[in-house]
Amino acid sequence: MGTGHVLTEPDVIAAYGIDWTGRFQGTPAAVIRPADCAEAAAVVSHCKKAGFAIVPQGGNTGLVGGGVPLEGEIVLSLRRLSWVADVDHQGGQLTAGAGTTIGGIQSAANASGWDYGVDLGSRGSATIGGTIATNAGGLQVLRHGPTRAQLLGVEAVLGTGVTISHLGGLIKDNTGYDLGGLLCGSEGTLGVVTSARVRLVPPNPDRVVAVVAFSSSAAAVEAALFLRRSLPDLQSLEFFVDPGLALVCQVTGMARPFPDRHSAYLLIEVAGQRDPMPAMSEALDSTHAIEDVAVATDAPRRAQLWRYREGHTEAINSLGAPHKLDVTLPSQALADFIDQIPGIVNDADPRATTWLFGHAADGNVHVNITGVGSDDLTVDDRVLVFAAGLGGSISAEHGIGRAKQPWLHLNRSNEEIATFRRIKDALDPAGILNPNVLLPAM
């Protein structure tokens, strides 16, 4: 590997120690950048012997403090493992190094006549390794499922220092435990993913995007449920409310999509292999309580409509590092949650401002809260307890990381957490892999 890829100069390693939002920060003991799986395995084996803790890191786009060295761990950066190989043009599969960006995988898939089923706003920096570690969801889960549903196999270095590799790409393969599925979503606590075989999906080049306005969140949620049933070619079904739209417009300088303000909005993308416009129009004609609609068929205008939704994360961060609470609600509780959560947050802390947006089809609301100190967790507690009490999950797609660690018990029983610990002990007996996230401290 050479000392050129073992970095220790403070100004060089600083960027590896802070997350994208600026809320989670630490100082890495060192940053090690292996070139391949063998080098990654050598680093893990050495750290195991020496008892050094490691935080694996991909594009550093995580939002729950799971990929930064909060306790001065060594950062194992997988970004140099950026390559695509063994593209199966007929069967629709490819193998990618852990450091390949999602955008890179999408381009490789497109070049062979396919598409990759996962898309997310951070596609230019998020890596396949990081998205496997977090089982990232994103904008197309309703159509193609989360990252775990794309995974045909992984190569990974376990905490034992042992490398496992299962990259044959068989779609049907019931030969025992699904180790790739187990590593997916384990947040770097069991193994370091070094490459993966993923399935590709047929492209749906004909697209229409609409932003639809409603007078209440309840009306938008009801419409979302109807549209899911009536539009089989639905690619994305996203949600935001007026304060977030106003902030995005203010920060980006974009004009509002409609002359009037409305309470709630859905962004709908329909994608197929022939013109999806007739199906979209028919579905919207039958949807109740629509107040206004903006439709785009050409790519630049579609991208413009998407910016109203995708612009939320950056616009909110411009106000200061937010508390990010990424929850899922059962569909029957979604509208109540959206209506009640700003009041619950304000009762807990009158300085707080609540921003709500997310993936309507999955019941996934991104509750962002600005105006409260980074270490004051009162509002986090109120939101997560309320979501779990309604039968929801405290982490829909971002993971537990450090941010949600104290609340894992809201969704997982003592027996489940004890089982997690036994799995961790088996795969990482020295406890060196991302030891300070996910599992609550003992």
Interacting residues toward ligand 2HG by CB under 6 A: 63, 121, 313, 324, 366, 368
SS3 115: strand
DSSP state of 286: T
Q: Return the closest-CA partner of residue 180 out of 157, 152, 158.
A: 152
Long-range contacts of 389-395 (CB under 8 A, 24+ apart): 390/329, 390/330, 390/333, 390/336, 390/337, 391/329, 391/330, 391/333, 392/327, 392/328, 392/329, 392/330, 392/333, 392/337, 392/363, 393/327, 393/328, 394/325, 394/327, 395/64, 395/326, 395/327
Q: Which is nearer to ligand 2HG, 60 or 93 (CB)?
A: 60
- Give the nearest distance from C-beta 430 to ligand 2HG in angstroms: 33
Q: Which is nearer to ligand 2HG, 114 or 308 (CB)?
A: 308
Q: How far apart are CA 221 and CA 225, in angstroms?
A: 6
- Give the nearest distance from C-beta 314 to ligand 2HG in angstroms: 9
CB atoms under 10 Å from CB of 226, counted, come to: 14
Q: Which is nearer to ligand 2HG, 63 or 284 (CB)?
A: 63
Q: How far apart are CA 108 and CA 88, in angstroms?
A: 11
Q: What is the strand order of the sheet 54-57 is part of?
A: 6-7, 31-32, 74-77, 54-57
Q: Find the radius of gyration of the CA atoms of the chain.
A: 22
Q: Which is nearer to ligand 2HG, 95 or 368 (CB)?
A: 368
- Give the nearest distance from C-beta 121 to ligand 2HG in angstroms: 5
Q: Which is nearer to ligand 2HG, 41 or 327 (CB)?
A: 327
- Give per-residue burial for 373-389: e unless 16+ CB within 10 Å, then b: eeeeeebbebbbebbbe
Q: Which is nearer to ligand 2HG, 33 or 143 (CB)?
A: 143
Structure tokens at 41: 């395995």
Residues whose CB falls within 8 Å of the CB of residue 238, separated by 6 or more in sequence, listed in order:
139, 266, 267, 268, 309, 357, 358, 359, 360
- Give the nearest distance from C-beta 129 to ligand 2HG in angstroms: 18
Q: Which is nearer to ligand 2HG, 197 or 402 (CB)?
A: 402
Q: Which is nearer to ligand 2HG, 366 or 404 (CB)?
A: 366
Structure tokens at 189: 């606590």
Q: Which is nearer to ligand 2HG, 194 or 317 (CB)?
A: 317
CA angle 379, 17, 15 (to 5 degrees): 115
- Single-letter code of the amino acid located at 387: A
Instruction: Determine what percent of the chain falls in helix, strand and coil, rounding each to the nearest 5.
Output: 35, 25, 40
- Give the nearest distance from C-beta 249 to ligand 2HG in angstroms: 17
Q: How far apart are CA 398 and CA 324, in angstroms?
A: 9
Q: Which is nearer to ligand 2HG, 121 or 181 (CB)?
A: 121
- Give the nearest distance from C-beta 381 to ligand 2HG in angstroms: 18
- Give the nearest distance from C-beta 322 to ligand 2HG in angstroms: 7
- Give the nearest distance from C-beta 313 to ligand 2HG in angstroms: 3
- Give the nearest distance from C-beta 368 to ligand 2HG in angstroms: 5
- Give the nearest distance from C-beta 32 to ligand 2HG in angstroms: 28
Please say whether the beta carbons of 129 and 98 come within 8 A.
Answer: yes
